[in-house]
Amino acid sequence: MKKILCFFIVVSILLTGCTQQPNAQRGSEDQDQYNTILSKNGELSIVTKPENLYINRGVITKMPKYYGSEKSFSVDIRSGDLTKLDLSNNYNDLMHADFDSKTQWPSNLPEGFDPQKIMELGKNPGLGLYDIHKKGITGKGIGIAIIDGSLLVDHIEYKDQLKLYEEIHLLNGDTASMHGPAVASIAVGKTVGVAPEADLYYIACTHGVYKEEGGFEHDLKWYSKSIDRIIEINRTLPNENKIRVISISFGIKSGRKGKKYVLNSIKRAEKEGIHTVFVGSNKFSGLGRDPLKSADNSTSFTEGKILQKLIKTGYESSNEHWKNQIKLKYGDSIFVPMDSRCFASPTGNNDYVFNRIGGCSWTVPYVAGLYALACQVNENVTPETFWKEASNTADILKYNNEEKLGLLVNPKNLLEKIEKLK
């Protein structure tokens, strides 16, 4: 389903344009297919405003079925018109559905299924973070940089926090991507985000080239160039408002072209006091949650849906070697919320989308947000200290409420410990 979604987004990108702002300059890399647009004359600006992503599934005449995570990730009814259906017997399908603000619901819904309640529960970053925010620990004064797809820059979740939007080697005519608004709001969103008052510096980047014959060739040098640009930007910022963390929802240590360049850029960023979080940068993973359970209750969480088959096979295997391998992989991993999240949608500035089954992409900005909070309570915190104390202060996540599976992040304990280390 994710491959189908990516194809749909790429087609939308090719057919829809975006509006360039006057305070922008195009780089020499710009060709017919890709854009590099940076702020002019040392200014920090919103260089362009990608258009809304248009999704219209029209009238849905038959409710899609959910067959289980082994066969399908979730049921996609985003921006669909369900008003002609009787869904009173489709509880399981709907409880595994992705939907958004533009989904139109029928009058006949199953007892206990409440899409509005599910969306509101999904906006909560969980694990007590709302209470932490009430104490003034919001990431204020800390910069978070994100490198991802194109962004709907005026979304209400992060418009006020957005200090910079630039494009480096971005597919020409790019509309707002699905990915960009999601990761931005998970990091700094006013209601969705872990660090709702952190400053957001955003670079939209295509990490490779779409081939004429079809397919996509990864080239991580574009991530490298984007990180170097963030370092350059950070040098212009006052000491009290520095960028402290970069979020990249991609697996950099994957052997792909350009890996050495991006790893060198990450090292340069670390020397400037900027920690880079990406898929595989550290031992962290994602949590699952029933959509109607509170994200503030640690007992609501299990391992993420995409991990369940692998973990179940390992824990219930008669092969002790395989079981030990699973325990070794996840035993000291720090788990953060991933599934059943509701975040900014690319379809409109006030729109939200509920994502039943998440991926590692959603864990990265969550961790980056936590790091920003840690920097607020202790400006001298280092990545090494952050990860050490995240492990030391975590709760135990159990498999089937019995054996230890991994470590469940405890934001309150983590931030209190880091603050005491001043």
User: What's phi and psi for 72, nearest 5 deg?
Assistant: -150, 150
Residue 256: pLDDT above 80?
yes
CA distance 259 to 262: 5
Is 65 inside any structural domain? no
Under the banding of pLDDT at 50, 70 and 90, the label for residue 14 is: very low
Query: What is the rounded distance in angstroms from the CA atom of residue 135 to the CA atom of residue 314?
Result: 42
DSSP per position, 235-297 = TTS-GGG-EEEEEE-S-SSS--TTHHHHHHHHHHHHHTT-EEEETTSSSEEEEEE-TTS-TT-
pLDDT band with cut points at 50, 70 and 90 for residue 16: very low
More confident residue, 256 or 243: 243
- In a domain? residue 76: no
* pLDDT category of residue 393 using cuts at 50, 70 and 90: very high
SS (H, E, C) 306-348: HHHHHHHHHHCCCCHHHHHHHHHHHCCCEEEECCCEEEECCCC
Distance separating alpha carbons of residues 65 and 76, to the nearest angstrom: 10
- Residue 193 is given by DSSP the state -
How high is the pLDDT of residue 25? 53
- Element (DSSP H or E) covering residue 1: none
> Cα–Cα distance between 227 and 114 in angstroms, integer?
42
Q: Is residue 93 part of a domain?
A: no
pLDDT digits (tens, 9 = 90+) for 119-167: 999 999 999 999 999 999 999 999 999 999 999 999 999 999 999 999 9
Can you give the CATH number for the domain in which 234 is found?
3.40.50.200
Report, as an integer, the average pLDDT of 238-252.
Answer: 97
- Residue type, position 263, single letter: L
Give which of 391, 387, 385 is closest to 410, Cα–Cα: 391
Say if residues 418 and 381 touch (Cβ distance below 8 Å).
Answer: yes
Residue 103 lies in a domain: no
Residue in 249, 253, 287, 282 with CA at minimum distance from that of residue 406: 287
Tell whether 102 is covered by a domain: no
Residue 411, in any domain of the structure: yes
pLDDT at 311: 84
Position 85 scores a pLDDT of: 98
The pLDDT score that the predictor gives to residue 323 is 74
Distance CA 359, CA 73 (A): 10
Question: Do 405 and 311 form a contact (C-beta atoms < 8 A)?
Answer: yes
DSSP for 50-76? EPPPP---EE-SSPPPP--TTT-S-EE
Evaluate if pTM is beyond 0.75. yes
Separation between Cα atoms, residue 222 and residue 207, nearest integer Å = 6
On whether residue 242 sits in a domain, the answer given is yes
Q: Over 70: is that where the pLDDT of 17 sits?
A: no
Among the listed ranges 67-76, 123-132, 298-307, which one has the minimum average pLDDT value?
Answer: 67-76
Domains held by the chain: number: 1
What does the CA dihedral 47, 5, 57, 13 come to, rounded to 10 degrees? 30
Higher pLDDT, 321 or 31: 321
Query: What is the mean pLDDT of the segment spanning 329-339?
Result: 95
In angstroms, the CA 71 to CA 62 distance is 19
Give residue 280's region: left, alpha or beta (phi > 0; psi -120 to 50): left
| Domain-embedded: residue 18 | no
Q: Which domain holds residue 257?
A: 33-54+122-420
Tell me the range of 62-71, 84-93, 314-323 where mean pLDDT is highest. 84-93
